[in-house]
Amino acid sequence: MNHTRKTVKKRKKKKRLRRLFLLVFLLLLGGVGAFGYNIYSETKQASSKIYQALDPSGEPPKDIEMRKDPFTVLLVGVENQYHDEEGRSDVVMLLTVNPKTNKVYLLSIPRDTRVYIPSEGRKDKITHSYSHGGIQSTIEAVNELIDVPIDYYVTTDFEGFEKVVDSLGGITVDVPFTFKAQLTGSLKWHTFHKGKQELNGNEALAYVRMRKSDPRGDFGRNERQKQVIRAIIDKSTSITSLPKLDDVIADLGDHVRTNIPPSDLLSFIYVYQKMKDADVENLHLKGYDETINGVYYYIPDEQSVSSINETLRQALETSNASLTRSDSPSTQSQN
């Protein structure tokens, strides 16, 4: 009898524990659900502010399912994007994503790369493309070099970059060597010591922009840019950063422009979260230095360009629509 009472008590205790666990789980689930809805609302609100079609009359719908189909995104960091009509495309990176193969290709184009700019009608540094027609001009200039369709673009100014990093509570990078760089705004000099280092937004911006003290010049700078982008993605998708995401998304509205439709923006975020540990292949644009009429340029190697084009076209071939879903790139042009 005594044994039976103990057994009943144990069962009741287990039952209460199960109920308590279930209650806590439901409360957590409700909290996450409410948070998820808040993120969704913030994303939807921000996306209406940042959406900007390439064609003022509105772009035709692209036949792309971002969760399934390969796509390309041109990432452009613009200096003085919203304060000066003649802003420069200081950072130009082409991202090619294939959700089916779980592969990502990242190509950084050095800012001094000499390329034909259709809106200028001549060859010039790619960094000047933005000041001759905005993002459309930069896309056309990239297409003169890289012969694959550019489905989407994302631009941000430097202030937006700083705010995103600060909203995440900073990022951690592995500094390859000790160097000094000047901070924007205060113009103070900051020392970046070799090894792991925590950076705030202002410091992260100086870290990715420095190139004169880098023995590898633009290539070293491009590697640091990729490093910081990876750090931002890792931080933004970590569980500890979830409460900060609504602040990040709210900040995007004032500093980011993209032609990713509001209806696809959540799919874009989903793909990034899903592929944050994907195999990322960094493509290197080989070339050589040359001074023309007293101006320094980086001249792309034709064989390197051809190899990159082939790699990216193969990455997009898993979808037959990839190479026909947007206007064909400009023909490789004049000398």
pLDDT tens digits, one per residue of 117-128: 999 999 999 999
Per-residue confidence (pLDDT) for residue 118, from 0 to 100: 94
Confidence class for position 190, pLDDT limits 50, 70, 90:
very high
Phi, psi of 68 (to 5 degrees): -125, -40
Q: Which of 192, 161, 164 is nearest to 177 (CA)?
A: 192
Residue 315 pLDDT greater than 50, yes or no: yes
Q: If you classify domain 46-318 with CATH, what class do you get?
A: alpha beta
pLDDT at 189: 94
Per-residue pLDDT, 80? 61
Element (H, E) at 115: strand 114-117
Per-residue confidence (pLDDT) for residue 4, from 0 to 100: 54
| Amino acid 283: pLDDT | 92
pTM to 2 decimal places = 0.72
Domain boundaries, the chain: 46-318
Q: What residues have CB less than 8 Å from 231, skipping those under 6 apart? A: 171, 172, 173
Band of pLDDT at residue 137, cut at 50, 70 and 90: very high
HSE of 302, CA atoms in CB hemisphere, 13 A = 3
Yes or no: say if 322 and 70 are a contact pair by the CB < 8 Å rule.
yes
Q: What pLDDT, on a 0 to 100 scale, did the predictor assign at position 68?
A: 85
CB atoms within 10 A of CB 322: 24
At 96, is the pLDDT very low, low, confident or very high (cuts 50, 70, 90)?
A: very high
Q: Report the DSSP pairing between strands 122-125 and 114-117.
A: antiparallel
Does residue 28 surpass a pLDDT of 80?
Answer: no
More reliable by pLDDT, 264 or 313: 313
Q: Is the pLDDT of residue 81 over 60?
A: no
How large is the average pLDDT for residues 18-35?
A: 46
Q: Are 114 and 123 in contact (CB under 8 A)?
A: yes
Q: For residue 299, name the pLDDT band (cuts at 50, 70, 90).
A: very high
